[in-house]
Amino acid sequence: MNKGEMKKVRGKWLAIMFIVLTVLLAGCKENNSKETAGTAKNVTSEVKEDIPTIYDTAITINVDEKTLTGTLKVKSTNNTGKTQDKIYFHVYPNQFREGVDLLGGFWREIIDKNSVPGSMEITEVQVNGEKGSFQIKDTVLEIPLDDNWTKGSTIDLELNFTMRVPKNNGRFSYDENAIWLGNWIPIQAVSDEAGWVTEPYHSIGDPFYSQVGTYNVKVTVPSNYQVTSTGKEEGGVLEQDGSLTYTTSIDNVRDFAMVVMNESYQKLTDQVGKTTVNTWYLASESNEAAKKNHEAGIKALTYFSKVYGPYPYPEYDIVRTGMFTAMEFPGLVYLPKNERNEAEIGSVVHETAHQWWYGMVGNNEVKEPWLDEAVATYSTTRFMLEEYPEHGAGDLELRKHLTQGTEVHERRGLFIGSPVDKFTNIGSYSQLVYQKGALMLENLEKVIGKEKMDQLLQNYFKKYQYEIATGSDFISVFSDDLGPEAQEYFENWLTGKEPEFKQ
Ligand SMILES: [Zn+2]
């Protein structure tokens, strides 16, 4: 998610932020003239060969009923380090079923009064070709394994399912022009040193955590609909009933999102190296704004590829949806419901930065949300200062205001390093995890220099690309180079203190 979500915060804090933002961005001209600059050396992409989980799915989407029906086959290799007698999947669509009280936490903001619940039904599960048992508790599917799933061995699962898409302002919903399917596909939970991580679907933050996998997806839609996704679609084979089937395969991604769009959508397309960049927008939107968004996406993808490491996927999609904020998925990002018909460069760049921080370098976004959000917010401003300097200066000015008064939260035990489930509102979450988290990195940069920061983030990227990093992994990359003072610096900032970095 991006700072746009702060718009939802009520009260004085919002008013201050809005005034500051309006003043800062008024008359902001984008500087398109300069060549992309980054100070770190170019790096080459690595291909991970031991992808632990392969997802094969074939679904049919009924756009009138808003249903997805199909099967998911999962071939998973046990890389948990021990024998398992169960396996867990996240089934996030089940959060929006009938009868769930969604007025707690931040859900109130997402589930407006006109929302319509959805449903998720798993009709059958097979384990190694035989009918298996299963149970779903909220957004977690548990499948017991009769035969032990030993370390290094592979299991074959098959799930048959039907889901009805809910109507709300969230990641998985629809409007009159599109169905946007974020977190729809059951994804295997991570088993780390603490065991299986089966966190509920928290309302604050982007509470996701998964390993990379291969996704082979086949999706059938009516012929007057278009599909874009995390993968690059081979498009549309005509079925006997007149519908179209798109197929796509992609490696090394930790989720698979899709948007199904009617003919009101159009796209801008450009090639950046081996990657096709598409910006999908409604015909009713400003062409000029769409062009600016598209250009920002291209520039950011180019810049981060050069500074941190190449974007390795064949496609990158920036897609208008009706979600209340922008949102990142691997290879595809949402722009929010378009109310102002202006360019959303800040959102485009922030979500593009997430392709590196969250997408390629994974982390437990429940336990350590700062690890992707603070780093993405920092990277966004770093880019902006080079490519859109007035916007970058605006980011820094805004940060100065938003990081004042954080003691109120810190006295209640909330810090940059707190997990999402500690936060009870989006205001404190944004102020600490995004803004103060980015300030922590900017204050370090002031001492060690931009070049060193770029180099260390590149080292971090290279070491953890397609893997899962923890906060202490991130800190180690810095302290390996800068000495133990770096560890002390981060640990203090993450727990509410604000020391200067001294080498
Ligand atoms: Zn974000």
Residue 49 pLDDT: 52
Residue 194: the pLDDT is 86
Distance 244 CA to ligand 1 centre (A): 34
Backbone angles phi, psi at 495, to 5 degrees: -120, 30
- Residues in the chain predicted with pLDDT less than 50, given as ranges, are 3-48
Take residue 484 and report the two structure tokens written for it. Answer: 């133990």
Number of domains observed in the structure of the chain: 1
- DSSP state, residue 97: B
Would strands 213-221 and 53-62 be described as parallel, antiparallel, or unpaired? parallel
Residue 193 Cα to ligand 1 midpoint, Å, equals 26
| Span from the CA of 245 to the centroid of ligand 1 (angstroms) | 32
Residue 162 CB contacts under 8 Å (≥ 6 apart), including other chains: 67, 68, 69, 119, 120, 121, 123
Asked, for residue 122, whether it belongs to a domain, the answer is yes
What is the distance in A from the centroid of ligand 1 to the CA of 391? 17
The CA distance from 74 to 71, in Å, is 10
End-to-end CA distance of the chain: 34
Would you state the structure tokens that stand for residue 44, as one six-digit string? Answer: 């080459």
Tokens of 88: 């867990």
Cα(126) to centroid(ligand 1), Å: 36
Residues present in the chain in total: 503
* Per-residue model confidence (pLDDT) at position 444: 98
Phi-psi region of 182 (alpha: psi -120 to 50; beta: other; left: phi over 0): beta
Residue span of the structural domain in which 84 resides? 74-170+187-205
pLDDT of residue 339: 80
Q: How far is the CA of 231 from the centre of ligand 1 (A)?
A: 21
> For residue 485, is it within any domain?
no
C-alpha of residue 381 to centroid of ligand 1, in Å: 13
User: What's the pLDDT score for residue 104?
Assistant: 74
Residue 266 included in any domain: no
In a domain, 89, yes or no: yes
Q: What per-residue confidence (pLDDT) applies to 321?
A: 98
Q: Rounded to the nearest whole angstrom, what is the distance from the C-alpha of residue 416 to the centroid of ligand 1? A: 14
Q: How far is the CA of 357 from the centre of ligand 1 (A)?
A: 9
Per-residue pLDDT tens digits for 263-314: 999 999 999 999 999 999 999 999 999 999 999 999 999 999 999 999 999 9
The rounded Å distance from CA 352 to ligand 1 centre is 9
Answer for the pair 195, 96: CB distance below 8 angstroms, yes or no: no
Cα(389) to ligand 1 centroid in Å equals 21
Question: What's the pTM value of the predicted model, to 2 decimals?
Answer: 0.91
Sorted by sequence, the CB contacts under 8 Å of residue 411 that are 6+ apart come out as: none
Residue 495 lies in a domain: no
Q: How many angstroms is it from 328 CA to the middle of ligand 1?
A: 7
Measured in whole angstroms, the distance separating CA 272 from the mean position of its chain's CA atoms is 21
Q: Is residue 197 part of a domain?
A: yes
Ligand 1 centroid to residue 82 C-alpha, Å: 34
Q: Could you tell me if residue 426 is inside a domain?
A: no
Residue 53 lies in a domain: no
Residue 461 has which token pair?
């990227």
